[in-house]
């Protein structure tokens, strides 16, 4: 029988993708591993290879359409099969659809990268010590605090919403879809091109912008966040960078302040482990690896690729890593593995003229460092006023894990390291 290729679970919590374009059309012959099309997930644009050699019988989702994990992408008539096989396949399609529908309530945790254990506990909206276990009751509402808060705002009844997340968990998207809408009773959806004050444009929230919106909502509703603001004297660091910049450029690497900051942060995290942690239930997980996420601004939205093992790398290697990761993110060809495993993040708005700001934690990490624009300022030193290069730094942290004094001590060590150029 013809092979029905379904959109696989590629991991990373990806549940859907948008077909950017098809590289084949119905009737085309393809070889195994030949690209079929490009699919945009909330992480990257993925080129999907053909699993079989044969003829494309049917493309199930048009370009621009949304496809969910487990849904059919294309049907392929394999090389050894005949047109009669194709006819029988489509005749039995309705029966197969009914069988699949009957199994749709069974939770699926498999993926193309193996089977992973799904979280089985979900915190209710109130009471940090309370837990609802999936095994306790099939009628228990499974939703994170962020989802419950959103449901309350939108006046949506969680008890009547069927979750599409792992093991039936209700997601933010489920709540948004189920929330009561105006003109719902008439069955007519009204989309106005103007509001009370004039004409407006509407831009669909999708792809990376959609997932960033969901992640930021989850972060801000889950973790109580506080920001400490400091200034670091980087006059010496600026001189060091200027001396080494030409040598780096000869090797094709752009030397910014970021590699120095990443290296210094990784070293300081070893001395301040609660800044390199996450919270799971009533346990604080102190991570023994130092993977620094770098926020990268792209035309499609914000990506956070990760410099792995930053503590064990020198500044030059970190600079090369950042160059490559940023380039891959901007071209949307970033490897999914480069987007996971972060333990601490750094966000730079200094390049667009911002001094201090309040970065939002890349949840479930416990902290994020914001880098501002370096400015020359008069500073009193040994009874004299000197013009020094000062770097604004903003540290946001999860106040459940890190207290103000811990955060301040981390920043004091980081500032001293940057001042002395000890890398």
Catalytic residue list: 399
Cα torsion through 105, 111, 115, 119, rounded to 10: -60
Between CA 353 and CA 360, with CA 357 as vertex, the angle to 5 degrees is 125
CA-closest candidate to residue 220, choices 411, 358, 41, 408: 358
Q: Helix and strand tally (H, E) in the chain?
A: 9, 23
Distance, in Å, from the CA atom of 181 to the CA atom of 49, rounded to the nearest integer, reads 40
Locate 289 and state its tokens. 């690896």
Contact 72, 19 (CB under 8 A): no
Q: CA 239 to CA 235: how far, in whole Å? A: 7
Cα separation, 66 vs 62, whole angstroms: 9
Q: Which residue has the tokens 């997601």?
A: 171
How many whole angstroms separate alpha carbon 220 and alpha carbon 226?
A: 11
């Amino acid at each position: 029988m013809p092979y029905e290729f379904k959109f696989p679970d590629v991991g990373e919590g990806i549940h859907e993708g948008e077909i950017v374009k098809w590289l084949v059309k119905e009737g085309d012959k393809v070889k195994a591993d030949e690209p079929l099309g490009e699919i945009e997930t909330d992480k990257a644009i993925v080129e999907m290879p053909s699993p079989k050699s044969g003829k494309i019988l049917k493309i199930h989702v048009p370009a621009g359409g949304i496809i969910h994990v487990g849904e059919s992408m294309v049907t392929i008539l394999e090389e050894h099969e005949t047109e009669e096989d194709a006819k029988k396949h489509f005749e039995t399609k309705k029966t197969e659809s009914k069988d699949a529908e009957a199994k749709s309530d069974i939770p699926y945790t498999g993926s193309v990268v193996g089977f992973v254990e799904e979280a089985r506990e979900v915190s209710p909206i109130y009471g940090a010590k309370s837990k609802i276990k999936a095994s306790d009751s099939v009628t228990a509402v499974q939703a994170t605090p962020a989802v419950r808060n959103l449901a309350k705002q939108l006046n949506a009844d969680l008890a009547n919403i069927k979750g599409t997340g792992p093991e039936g968990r209700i997601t933010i998207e489920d709540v948004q879809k189920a929330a009561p809408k105006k003109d719902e009773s008439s069955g007519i959806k009204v989309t106005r091109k103007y509001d009370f004050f004039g004409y407006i444009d509407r831009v669909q929230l999708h792809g990376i912008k959609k997932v960033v919106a969901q992640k930021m909502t989850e972060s801000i509703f889950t973790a109580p966040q506080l920001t400490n603001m400091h200034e670091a004297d980087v006059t010496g660091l600026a001189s060091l960078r200027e001396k080494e910049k030409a040598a780096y450029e000869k090797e094709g690497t752009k030397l910014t302040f970021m590699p120095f900051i990443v290296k210094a942060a990784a070293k300081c995290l070893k001395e301040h482990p609660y800044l390199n942690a996450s919270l799971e239930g009533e346990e604080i997980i102190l991570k023994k690896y130092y993977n620094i996420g770098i926020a990268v601004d792209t035309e499609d939205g914000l990506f956070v690729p990760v410099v792995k093992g930053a503590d064990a790398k020198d500044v030059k290697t970190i600079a090369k890593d950042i160059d490559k990761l940023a380039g891959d993110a901007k071209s949307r060809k970033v490897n999914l593995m480069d987007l996971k495993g972060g333990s601490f993040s750094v966000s730079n708005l200094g390049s667009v003229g911002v001094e201090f700001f309040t970065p939002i934690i890349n949840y479930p990490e416990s902290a994020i460092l914001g880098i501002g624009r370096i400015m020359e300022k008069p500073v009193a030193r040994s009874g004299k006023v000197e013009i020094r290069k000062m770097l604004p730094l903003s540290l946001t942290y999860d106040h459940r894990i890190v207290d103000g004094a811990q955060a301040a001590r981390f920043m004091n060590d980081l500032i001293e390291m940057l001042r002395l150029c000890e890398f």
